[in-house]
């Protein structure tokens, strides 16, 4: 009997660890010594071991989450013990007020809802959460909840807005930046909807969107909140769907772009710890292709605008090309869209972009799973600066499936 159980122990020790066992061994430090000028390889763990399967990616994604919080976004607190809501509807409008916090104190904010004027589907309405306000068209049959993220964490200027907003009233001066504070609030909205379905949403069909600074926040929300099915950052530029290294390359090439050294002086979107790296971008053991990769396998569609030069056009295309390899590794490249055009003003949405937008809505929010969502394109207007994928993306893409 004793020998048998020893044999069993020995054989289970030799067998490959199950996904649950692996997660026990997944180390997720917030800091890793690193120095590399080109984009980091998403398909190696912090210790250099290869990432070869979906189970490996679960751990790798946890490592990336810890690094992004550690270096640039600040800590993202989890669900506090108290989350509740009140709901008041009048016609096609409603107010959804969320209260969250601790027995010692809570905060509350009101999100406004606009409902379609048709009959709700049996599973409830698909929902778009719009950071601060909506700047894309919404197809029929989708409700919109406007989330007042600037109330949660102020974003007027740096350093005056640092630590100002409802989130900081609750948590004090923690390392969370406005990016993580906003994600926290989105997660509490979804918690409150899960607890009380009076608003009648289909919680498996939630999208998030926002433009410019709120596009940066939108990508963070999609990366960290896995209950979001579709993430649509619009013209998010540096700090969003661009990579810090590539924005620096554009700046070094003579283009006038928003990049890390400027962004930390412009506003308080990132943690004060990020100040220590903006002149040492090569030391970041990640870049924003990892942030976009955290959204996978869920759907991600980003729009960029080459008419607004500070949006770092080459950086956005290069960074999302790098992120695309993560979707390719999963065999779902068409869950990741990128559309970069010019000829329109910042945060405008010309009607010819609706094909790609509505395709993603149809497939991921409106139960039309056969819709073609192969949209990945750029006009290549990079002010003469050259994009060299072989230099910036030196890794081979594994196949998880
Ligand atoms: C939502 O709240 C605002 C501000 O208090 C109020 O003016 C509006 O009537 C409310 N809307 C609904 C549908 O209750
Ligand atoms: C319903 O909303 C659509 C816009 O989404 C509008 O064109 C239409 O006139 C509205 N119908 C009614 C009955 O309010
Ligand atoms: C809040 O913390 C940051 C660093 O984490 C610091 O720079 C800032 O001065 C603090 N603000 C206040 C009001 O204590
Ligand atoms: C484009 O490149 C030229 C030459 O490097 C530079 O002078 C100009 O400022 C750049 N334009 C923009 C909008 O970045
Ligand atoms: C970080 O950047 C600063 C400013 O360019 C430089 O003086 C310093 O040597 C860099 N630190 C490291 C560790 O490379
Ligand atoms: C740019 O926009 C203008 C005004 O909407 C339009 O007339 C023109 O055809 C557009 N050009 C391109 C290249 O799309």
Residue (of 35, 69, 48) closest to 285 by Cα position: 35
Instruction: Report residue 24's pLDDT band, with 50, 70 and 90 as the boundaries.
Output: low
Atom number of ligand 4 nearest to Cα 309: 13
Q: Which alpha helices (DSSP H) does 175-212 contain, by range?
A: 178-195
Sign of CA dihedral 228, 230, 236, 237: positive
Q: How far apart are CA 156 and CA 146, in angstroms?
A: 19
324 is catalytic: no
Mean model confidence pLDDT for the chain: 94
Supply the angle between the helices 213-224 and 54-68 in degrees, to the nearest 10.
Answer: 140
Residue of the CA atom closest to atom 8 of ligand 4: 255
pLDDT at 20 over 80: no
Q: Is the CB of 56 under 6 A from ligand 4?
A: no
Burial class (CB in 10 A: 0-12, 13-18, 19+), 189: buried
Residues in the chain: 401
Q: Which of 85, 212, 321, 356 is catalytic?
A: 212
Q: Which of 53, 161, 253, 346 is catalytic?
A: 346
Cα three-residue angle 138-143-148, rounded to 5 degrees: 95
Atom number of ligand 2 nearest to Cα 117: 1
Q: How far apart are CA 234 and CA 348, in angstroms?
A: 10
Q: Is the CB of 104 under 6 A from ligand 2?
A: no
Residue of the CA atom closest to atom 3 of ligand 5: 279
Contact 42, 51 (CB under 8 A): yes
Token couple for 136: 């894309």
Residue 121 C-alpha to ligand 5 middle, in angstroms? 57
289 is catalytic: no
Listed by start position, the domains of the chain span 54-392
Residues 217-243: what's their mean pLDDT? 98
**What pLDDT digit, counting tens, does each position of 87-138 carry?**
999 999 999 999 999 999 999 999 999 999 999 999 999 999 999 999 999 9
Instruction: Look up tokens 């649509």; give the residue.
Output: 232
Q: How far apart are CA 220 and CA 201, in angstroms?
A: 22
Query: What is the pTM (predicted TM-score) of this model?
Result: 0.91
Burial class (CB in 10 A: 0-12, 13-18, 19+), 224: buried
**What pLDDT digit, counting tens, does each position of 41-97 carry?**
999 999 999 999 999 999 999 999 999 999 999 999 999 999 999 999 999 999 999
**CATH code of domain 54-392:** 3.40.50.1820
Residue of the CA atom closest to atom 14 of ligand 5: 280
Nearest ligand for residue 278 CA: 5
Atom number of ligand 1 nearest to Cα 89: 13
Instruction: Look up tokens 């065999």; give the residue.
Output: 331
Give the CA distances from residue 208 to residues 76, 214, 268, 352, in Å, rounded to whole numbers and listed in that order: 18, 10, 21, 21
Token couple for 67: 């690094």
Beta sheet of 82-90, edge-to-edge order: 82-90, 93-102, 105-114, 143-147, 125-131, 201-211, 230-234, 299-305, 336-341, 376-378
Q: How far apart are CA 123 and CA 144, in angstroms?
A: 16
Instruction: Look up tokens 């080109």; give the residue.
Output: 38
């Amino acid at each position: 009997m004793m020998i048998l159980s020893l044999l069993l122990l020995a054989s289970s020790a030799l067998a490959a660890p199950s996904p649950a066992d692996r997660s026990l061994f997944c180390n997720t430090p917030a800091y890793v010594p690193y120095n590399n000028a080109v984009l980091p390889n998403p398909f190696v763990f912090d210790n250099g071991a290869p990432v070869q399967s979906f189970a490996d990616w679960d751990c790798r994604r946890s490592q990336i989450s810890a690094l992004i919080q550690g270096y640039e976004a600040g800590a993202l607190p989890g669900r506090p013990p108290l989350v509740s809501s009140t709901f008041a509807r009048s016609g096609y409008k409603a107010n959804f007020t969320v209260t969250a916090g601790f027995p010692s104190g809570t905060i509350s904010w009101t999100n406004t809802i606009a409902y379609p004027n048709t009959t709700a589907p049996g599973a409830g309405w698909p929902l778009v959460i719009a950071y601060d306000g909506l700047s894309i068209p919404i197809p029929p049959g989708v409700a919109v909840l406007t989330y007042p993220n600037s109330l949660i964490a102020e974003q007027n200027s740096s350093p005056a807005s640092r630590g100002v907003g409802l989130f900081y009233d609750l948590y004090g001066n923690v390392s969370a930046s406005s990016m993580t504070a906003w994600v926290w609030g989105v997660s509490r909205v979804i918690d409150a909807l899960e607890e009380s379905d009076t608003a009648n949403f289909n919680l498996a069909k939630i999208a998030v969107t926002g433009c410019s600074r709120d596009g940066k926040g939108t990508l963070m929300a999609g990366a960290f909140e896995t209950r979001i099915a579709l993430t649509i950052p619009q013209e998010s530029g540096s700090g969003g769907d661009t990579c810090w290294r590539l924005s620096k390359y554009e700046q070094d090439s003579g283009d006038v772009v928003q990049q890390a050294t400027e962004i930390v002086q412009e506003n308080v979107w990132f943690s004060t710890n990020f100040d220590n790296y903006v002149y040492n971008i090569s030391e970041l053991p990640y870049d924003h292709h990892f942030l976009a990769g955290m959204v996978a396998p869920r759907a991600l569609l980003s729009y960029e605008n080459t008419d607004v030069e500070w949006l770092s056009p080459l950086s956005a295309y290069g960074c999302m090309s790098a992120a695309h390899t993560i979707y390719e590794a999963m065999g779902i490249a068409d869950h990741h869209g990128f559309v970069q055009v010019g000829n329109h003003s910042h945060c405008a949405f010309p009607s010819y972009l609706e094909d790609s937008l509505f395709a993603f809505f149809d497939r991921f929010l409106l139960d039309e799973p056969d819709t073609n969502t192969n949209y990945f394109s750029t006009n290549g207007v990079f002010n003469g600066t050259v994009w060299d994928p072989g230099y910036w993306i030196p890794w081979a893409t594994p196949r998880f499936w």
